[in-house]
Amino acid sequence: MDKQASAGQELPEALARLLPAYMARQRWYAGGGVPPTSLHCLASGQLVPPAGGGEGAGYRVLWALVEAGGDHYQLFIGERPTAELAEHISKADDAVVGSAGDRTFYDATVDPEMAVEILGALTGGAQTAKHARLVGAEQSNTSVVYDDRLILKFFRRVPPGPNLDAEVTTALAAAGFAHVAQPLVRWQRDGRDLAFGQQYLAGGTDGWALALTSLRDFYATSPEAGAADPALSGGDFAAEATRLGQVTAEMHIALAQSFGADHQYLAGAWPGWLDQLWSRVELLHPSLVEGAGPLFEALRSVEHPGPAIRAHGDYHLGQVMRTDAGWYVLDFEGEPGRPVEQRLQPTSALKDVAGMLRSFQYAAWSALGEHSHEQAGWLEPLALAWEQRNRQAFLRGYRGHPGTAALLPTGRRDFEAVRLAFELDKALYELSYEEAHRKAWVGLPLAALHRLLSSPVEQLLAEVPEDAGAVDDGEPASPLGPGRP
């Protein structure tokens, strides 16, 4: 690659003139639809040379890393004779950069023939394919599936340094964690991840879709049942939730082994983090501040918040996939609304646990939206019963897994308090996100905030049943060592 795309090489002048308008139309461009006033080419070159050896023959693929508005973007630009265009990129108008003479430039990843060539070029021929197909639109990346065995993600907006998903997934696979899709391609340049390819999980179904299927079955077979038991539903999700809890525990143990577990960091950061949490409650939901005092009293009384580890950071039902081989965990880039520096900070394993618990509420109440207002009214108790059953099943699987206690707060009360703190943190994040992007969903985090900030504290602290897994009441003897995150 270094020979084909060297730093300082400029793009063809005709292409450079067309790029600002093209970038403004892309979902991955951060400029809000406004073309960049200046576009600086950091590096570029010919990734796939012209077919037939001459610049006027067949097609070629150009690669570029450009700077616009302080951000760096990666481009894969195909060039073909305009007369050949329709058969290769039909119904992909936004992919067209523009034309110069009898040649047209466009996003090479939408062209199956070019996408196959790109795979071979990025891997030096180590990975080849006969077929390629573009996955549906993504906001920050572009993904292509090859022969239904490999999915390659092309990063579009690329900050310096390693990509979190590529870095963590590679480390977990090396540690023997079997619940990530096997890494197959990692294309880097100057320490920056530009593309990452993994085993394609053919036939897999994401956890969100499975949960909604369970809920639809439960709601359909319990008409006006009020307090029906989800355990009696043919689509009971609890066994899957239990196994998902076990896989989550395995993931955290592997993360601690790969990146270290800091046994002092969280205890020192806890008071300041709670102050920030209180400030966010005041800012986002001031009407609940008055009732929040007892909960924060309990949170400030935590003596041992537990070690800090590298966490998934954005863990929910949409980030896990069920295949015939079991559960797989996806996408370790963390919450997109938080700065990268914040996503890299070590944190409690309970951040991920809280994220999944919040996801159960989202699924249960989202499924109510498929019913009329009148139906939803009498289905609400069922939604709550489903959510509680699967929260408890997930926690049983998680806390009952051998080795998990070394990563958790010491003692049941501290465990419950830290869990509640991270559920509150997640609900506040959700409220901010929904207000900015999905007004119709604001009620979900609001309901969680009302429950967390208005319910009796002792009731919240006793939410998890006694048989939900063992908790060490003494200092954990961690097999992981002090480590460093």
Domain boundaries, the chain: 5-130, 143-199, 205-461
pLDDT at 342 over 90: no
The amino acid present at 81, given as its one-letter code, is P
Question: What would the pLDDT profile of 418-432 be if each residue is shown by its tens digit?
Answer: 999 999 999 999 999
Q: Cα separation of 476 and 263, whole Å?
A: 10
Residue 259 contacts by C-beta under 8 Å, 6 or more apart in sequence? 171, 309, 310, 483, 485
Question: Are the C-beta atoms of residues 460 and 423 closer than 8 Å to each other?
Answer: no
pLDDT at 122 over 80: yes
Task: Identify the residue whose tokens are 């394993």.
Answer: 349
What is the pLDDT averaged over residues 317-343?
91
**Topology of domain 205-461, per CATH?**
Aminoglycoside 3'-phosphotransferase; Chain: A, domain 2 (3.90.1200)
What pLDDT, on the 0 to 100 scale, is given for residue 91?
A: 56
Task: Identify the residue whose tokens are 């239990």.
Answer: 242
Question: Are the C-beta atoms of residues 360 and 394 closer than 8 Å to each other?
Answer: yes
pLDDT at 472 over 60: no
In 3D space, the residue among 157, 152, 164, 162 whose CA is nearest the CA of residue 190 turns out to be: 162
Q: How confident is the model at residue 479 (pLDDT cuts 50, 70, 90)?
A: very low
What is the pLDDT averaged over residues 4-33?
81
Is-above-0.85 flag for pTM? Answer: yes
pLDDT at 222 over 70: no
CB neighbourhood size of 205 (10 A): 12
What pLDDT, on the 0 to 100 scale, is given for residue 136?
A: 77
